[in-house]
A and B are shown apart, each in its own frame.
Chain A
């Protein structure tokens, strides 16, 4: 069966510090990978998605970036955090449909990372 991991689970960082959140998926190959942010009591905002190694699509221009150095690894980074970067960050994966984009399949979410920027 497939599992998705995220770490750290919680993180408190000062404004201006760098960020690196990691997501890994087990039990599947060539998944589509996604990063979402969820503000408190709000819905999900798609930040980045990837259909393959080194392929990153950005949904929202901001001071965050994503990378996919390996097939089942997705990293969310920032060089300098802002207060507004606080939130609950969720990684998700889905199977590739082979039709491009691969968004038309169920997405399965990780446990999330709660980030507080002070």
Chain B
């Protein structure tokens, strides 16, 4: 049972466009939602995160929008750059010291110049 779902599986955009990545979850106990970015051949690294108390989180060109009622999140990357080409993972967990992340299957983004 996949508790965190991502769509699309892959996405190609042109430089300068806005990239939109989608994520949904099922477990109502999840209250922390990080996005990790993984470049080819590298390890995942935290990009941006949001908790249940917020509807939106911005960090430069990256913004998370959160619809708690529908259990859906989206990551928007404005002015996409070729250097943004990577796989993006949505994850979720409960807060608490014993928490573990449940990862989605990822969205591979290619930004063409």
Check if A and B associate.
no
